[in-house]
């Protein structure tokens, strides 16, 4: 086999992505001359000031402290986060531009993650829609709302590849796949920034967390990541590259170390890859205190050493800790860091401020009429929630008839705060519509008998069971809305056991005894393992916390106004003990398979010690997940037939087309996510068993069929070989047009030189 060497480059695929979503090279191209001019006037204190990102508690009361104002007057701060009172922001900006010596405006950052006041589904939910345009429209709505109050920089999108559902921050991710994540990340960047950052409703986006944060050991937050460089480049860095190509304004380093070097002081990532290979000229900010956390990591001896490590690696702005402010001047005076290195950091900060047009237009935009939580914004949030719900099981009990009575039980049926999910600093429960609100509206109060059973998801006692069972007895069918409270996922909220918390399972089992249709609706921040509970219920409609409009969306889905069309953006394990778990794994030398599987109860007592018959699986859990990546049902069925490839051999540099006929064989209009996977059978380094390359979400009427065609450029088959060259190798490839990562029509082609 011959290796085709290609220099590290923008692949066709990403060129394609860029053409779809990309911002025409940050239209407000800043004048480098202006940056140089300004830089030449700056004192070293003012330069260091630009690298400081200071926080203020959003709960702070009383007037702005005089000392804080003085810091701004002295040019000792470049940006703030969490200043949430608009008049305080206005005042600080006024001081920066009118009272500081050089009048350099401030950045105001905020975690606007999946909505500002109008809350959209958590990012994992947005990814479950497989409709990047919904992520873009969510980000657009967020930017319009947040810029109205003066936020000009958001710490989103998060594009960490997450293969472990125990990790709480999987909620903020787009899941486990690098292509899905890249496309959703780029869509969100476009939604936040538009194609012109100087647009008054544009907000600078942040690609975070650079990098490998999703690979933390055991799913424990802040932990260690060990990722071989090839995989780092082919999987974990891929979304960041796509975002860089799409003009993302800034990036945030992650808390974790990667292969022994904390991300915040990582020269390979920040210098060689980002600035060298990618020529990225946006700004790089640390995560909260991640500069000083390099001391605990054992990578820096003290704060001064941490400042040196971070600045030398090329970190432009330090979030909340103050090592740059305290030590950079001294470090430069001692000759350990060249002033030119500081100048480079400052250039990147100033460039962002020019791109945002802050020098010309530093203040919050004036609005005649607020669009916050407008009907249009809420409708967009509802659409995203509708398209994100995943039907995991259905024994003909969904959609439910409008006639008859419903017992609505469960801790999330009327939990306006919880349905928003993690990272919603600005969302408020009072603005949200719950499932109870929506079903009462649809069916009439008298037809919805509500008893939560458990006041919140973790309740262990059974005190509310009697009332819940009594309510269920009176109704024709039961809808149990459970899951996880918002606080059980997100940063620092990893779980080892990812089943339904509290005594939810016990209550479901009691309700099942009534022999009435029992529908389980789950809202959660991660896949929730269901064990044998799945056998007690007739249907499961799963929602990653859907946000403000959870109620109306779930009600429409339950009543069949819309057929569910979400598909899993992550592999769904049977138990947290299977994690990490992901579809694009390697084959191993002893791939698990159904034929050879030996279960724990198949082993004779006092069996002779032998590995024969066993392969890479667990005796007690097998090797399959509960549901594969890409999986989801709807109220209709689809058939896949007639796979055709336009060639069986392709030359490197060319492309191949594959098509199949997808038919709606059921009785309702519904959407299908048609997925396109490949496998590179033999490689210089081993390749995954499948890799998603593309998909199309199509809607078909009953009986309708459509030929779905995918075109694959051979550059999309590239990967990093042992020598860390990005290569496309000649050889055999499998491909699938499939409803999920574990099935589909299989074809084959050969790639030739």
The answer to whether 685 touches 656, Cβ cutoff 8 Å, is no
Of 249, 242, 233, 247, whose CA–CA distance to 8 is shortest?
233
Cβ distance to ligand NOJ smaller for residue 112 or 179: 112
Q: Figure out which of the listed residues 91, 491, 615, 684 binds ligand NOJ, where binding follows CB under 6 A.
A: 491
Name the one residue in this structure whose structure tokens are 């769904």. Answer: 572
Residue 359 as a binder of ligand NOJ (CB under 6 A): the answer is no
Cβ distance to ligand NOJ smaller for residue 253 or 571: 253
The answer to whether 678 touches 584, Cβ cutoff 8 Å, is no
Give the C-alpha separation, 504 to 461, whole Å.
10
The answer to whether 677 touches 629, Cβ cutoff 8 Å, is no
Of 319, 156, 322, whose CA–CA distance to 250 is shortest?
156
Kindly give, in sequence order, each residue whose CB lies less than 8 Å from that of residue 286, ignoring residues fewer than 6 positions away. 252, 253, 264, 310, 315, 317, 318, 319, 321
Report, in Å, the least distance between residue 81 CB and ligand NOJ. 6
Give the C-alpha separation, 729 to 750, whole Å.
10
Strand partners, 481: 521
CA atoms within 13 A on the CB side of 150: 23
Report, in Å, the least distance between residue 21 CB and ligand NOJ. 23
Give the footprint of ligand NOJ on residues 554-573 (CB under 6 A): none
Give the residue at shortest CB distance from ligand NOJ. 155
DSSP state of 651: E
Measure the N-to-C terminal CA separation of the chain; round to a whole number of Å.
10
Report, in Å, the least distance between residue 162 CB and ligand NOJ. 14
SS3 642: strand
CA atoms within 13 A on the CB side of 169: 25
Q: Figure out which of the listed residues 46, 88, 111, 257 binds ligand NOJ, where binding follows CB under 6 A.
A: 111
Is the peptide bond prior to 167 cis by the omega test (within 30 degrees of 0)? no
The answer to whether 27 touches 195, Cβ cutoff 8 Å, is yes
Report, in Å, the least distance between residue 453 CB and ligand NOJ. 34
Report, in Å, the least distance between residue 304 CB and ligand NOJ. 24
Cβ distance to ligand NOJ smaller for residue 489 or 584: 489
Report, in Å, the least distance between residue 264 CB and ligand NOJ. 12
Number of H helices, E strands in the chain: 20, 27
From the candidates 245, 287, 437, 556, which is the catalytic residue? 287
Residue 56 as a binder of ligand NOJ (CB under 6 A): the answer is no
Cβ distance to ligand NOJ smaller for residue 100 or 254: 254
Give the footprint of ligand NOJ on residues 364-403 (CB under 6 A): none
Q: Figure out which of the listed residues 288, 456, 536, 618 binds ligand NOJ, where binding follows CB under 6 A.
A: 288
Report, in Å, the least distance between residue 660 CB and ligand NOJ. 40
Kindly give, in sequence order, each residue whose CB lies less than 8 Å from that of residue 399, ignoring residues fewer than 6 positions away. 557, 558, 559, 560, 635
Greatest distance between any 2 Cα atoms in the chain:
84
Strand partners, 464: none
Residue 155 as a binder of ligand NOJ (CB under 6 A): the answer is yes
Cβ distance to ligand NOJ smaller for residue 207 or 678: 207
The size of the interface with ligand NOJ (CB under 6 A), counted in residues, is: 6
Cβ distance to ligand NOJ smaller for residue 281 or 491: 491
SS3 394: strand
Give the footprint of ligand NOJ on residues 314-333 (CB under 6 A): none
Cβ distance to ligand NOJ smaller for residue 491 or 615: 491
SS3 552: helix
For 414, phi then psi, to 5°, come to: -140, 60
Q: Figure out which of the listed residues 114, 163, 166, 208 binds ligand NOJ, where binding follows CB under 6 A.
A: 208
Residue 54 as a binder of ligand NOJ (CB under 6 A): the answer is no
Query: Cα–Cα distances in Å, from 90 out to 102, 333, 366?
Result: 18, 36, 12
Query: Cα–Cα distances in Å, from 601 out to 85, 103, 597, 630?
Result: 63, 74, 11, 31
DSSP state of 532: G
Is the peptide bond prior to 157 cis by the omega test (within 30 degrees of 0)? yes
Name the one residue in this structure whose structure tokens are 């059921």. Answer: 666
Cβ distance to ligand NOJ smaller for residue 208 or 574: 208
Active site residue 177: no
Report, in Å, the least distance between residue 237 CB and ligand NOJ. 18
Joined together, the tokens standing for residue 504 give 């939810």
Cβ distance to ligand NOJ smaller for residue 212 or 744: 212
Report, in Å, the least distance between residue 646 CB and ligand NOJ. 45
Cβ distance to ligand NOJ smaller for residue 85 or 509: 85
Residue 287 as a binder of ligand NOJ (CB under 6 A): the answer is yes
What is the C-alpha radius of gyration for the chain, rounded to an integer number of angstroms? 27
Kindly give, in sequence order, each residue whose CB lies less than 8 Å from that of residue 309, ignoring residues fewer than 6 positions away. 264, 265, 294, 299, 300
Report, in Å, the least distance between residue 51 CB and ligand NOJ. 17
Cβ distance to ligand NOJ smaller for residue 240 or 465: 240
Report, in Å, the least distance between residue 116 CB and ligand NOJ. 14
Catalytic machinery residues: 287
What is the contact surface with ligand NOJ in residues (CB under 6 A)?
Answer: 111, 155, 208, 287-288, 491
């Amino acid at each position: 086999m011959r290796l085709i060497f290609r220099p590290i480059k923008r692949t066709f695929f990403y060129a394609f992505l860029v053409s779809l979503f990309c911002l025409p090279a940050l239209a407000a191209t800043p004048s480098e001359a202006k940056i140089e001019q300004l830089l030449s006037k700056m004192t070293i204190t003012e330069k260091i000031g630009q690298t400081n990102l200071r926080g203020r508690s959003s709960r702070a009361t009383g007037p702005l402290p005089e000392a804080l104002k003085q810091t701004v007057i002295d040019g000792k701060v470049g940006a703030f986060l969490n200043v949430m009172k608009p008049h305080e922001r206005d005042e600080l900006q006024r001081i920066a531009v009118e009272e500081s010596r050089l009048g350099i405006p401030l950045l105001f950052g905020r975690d606007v993650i999946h909505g500002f006041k109008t809350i959209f589904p958590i990012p994992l939910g947005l990814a479950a829609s497989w409709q990047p345009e919904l992520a873009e429209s969510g980000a657009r709505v967020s930017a319009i709302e947040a810029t109205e109050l003066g936020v000009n920089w958001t710490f989103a999108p998060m594009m960490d590849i997450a293969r472990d559902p125990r990790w709480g921050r999987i909620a903020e991710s787009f899941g486990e796949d690098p292509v899905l994540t890249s496309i959703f990340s780029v869509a969100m960047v476009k939604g936040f920034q538009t194609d012109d950052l100087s647009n008054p409703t544009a907000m600078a986006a942040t690609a975070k967390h650079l990098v490998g944060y999703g690979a933390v050991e055991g799913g424990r937050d802040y932990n260690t990541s060990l990722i071989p460089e090839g995989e780092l480049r082919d999987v974990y860095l891929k979304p960041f590259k796509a975002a860089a190509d799409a003009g993302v304004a800034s990036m945030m380093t992650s808390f974790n170390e990667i292969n022994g070097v904390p991300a915040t002081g990582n020269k390979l990532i920040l210098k060689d890859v980002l600035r060298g290979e990618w020529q990225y000229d946006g700004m790089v900010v640390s995560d909260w205190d991640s500069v000083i956390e390099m001391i605990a990591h054992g990578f820096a001896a003290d704060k001064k050493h941490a400042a040196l490590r971070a600045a030398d690696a090329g970190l432009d702005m330090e979030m909340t800790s103050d090592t740059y402010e305290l030590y950079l001047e001294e470090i430069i005076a001692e000759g350990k860091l060249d002033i030119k290195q500081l100048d480079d950091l400052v250039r990147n900060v100033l460039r962002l401020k020019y791109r945002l047009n802050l020098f010309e237009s530093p203040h919050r935009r004036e609005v005649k009429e607020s669009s916050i939580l407008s009907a249009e914004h809420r409708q967009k949030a509802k659409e995203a929630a509708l398209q994100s719900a995943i039907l995991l099981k259905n024994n003909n009990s969904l959609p439910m008839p409008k006639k008859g009575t419903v017992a609505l039980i469960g801790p999330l049926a009327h939990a306006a705060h919880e349905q928003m999910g993690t990272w919603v600093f600005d969302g408020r429960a009072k603005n949200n519509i719950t499932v109870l609100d929506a079903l009462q509206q649809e069916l009439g109060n008298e037809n919805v008998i509500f008893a939560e059973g458990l006041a919140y998801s973790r309740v262990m006692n059974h005190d509310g069971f009697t009332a819940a069972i009594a309510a269920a007895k009176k109704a024709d069918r039961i809808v149990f809305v459970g899951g996880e409270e918002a606080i059980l996922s997100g940063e620092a909220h990893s779980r080892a056991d990812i089943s339904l918390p509290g005594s939810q399972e016990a209550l479901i089992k009691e309700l099942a005894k009534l022999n009435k249709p029992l529908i389980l609706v789950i809202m959660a921040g991660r896949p929730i393992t269901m064990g044998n509970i799945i056998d007690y219920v007739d249907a499961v409609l799963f929602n990653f916390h859907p946000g403000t409009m959870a109620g109306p969306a779930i009600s429409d889905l339950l009543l069949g106004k819309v057929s569910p069309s979400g598909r899993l953006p992550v592999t769904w394990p049977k138990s947290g003990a299977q994690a990490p778990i992901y579809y694009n794994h390697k084959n191993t030398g002893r791939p698990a398979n159904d034929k050879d599987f030996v279960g724990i109860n198949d082993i004779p007592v006092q069996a002779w010690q032998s590995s024969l018959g066993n392969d890479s699986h667990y005796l007690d859990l097998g090797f399959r997940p509960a549901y594969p990546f890409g999986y989801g049902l709807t109220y209709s069925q689809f058939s896949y037939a007639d796979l055709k490839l336009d060639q069986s051999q392709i030359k490197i540099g060319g492309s191949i087309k594959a098509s199949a006929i997808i038919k709606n064989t059921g009785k309702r209009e519904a959407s299908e996510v048609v997925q396109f996977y490949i496998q590179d059978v033999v490689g210089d380094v081993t390749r995954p068993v499948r890799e998603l390359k593309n998909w199309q979400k199509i809607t078909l009427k009953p009986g309708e069929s459509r030929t779905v065609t995918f075109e694959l450029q051979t550059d999309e088959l590239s990967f990093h070989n042992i020598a860390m060259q990005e290569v496309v190798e000649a050889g055999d490839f499998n491909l699938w047009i499939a409803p999920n990562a574990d099935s589909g029509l299989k074809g084959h082609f050969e790639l030739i030189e």
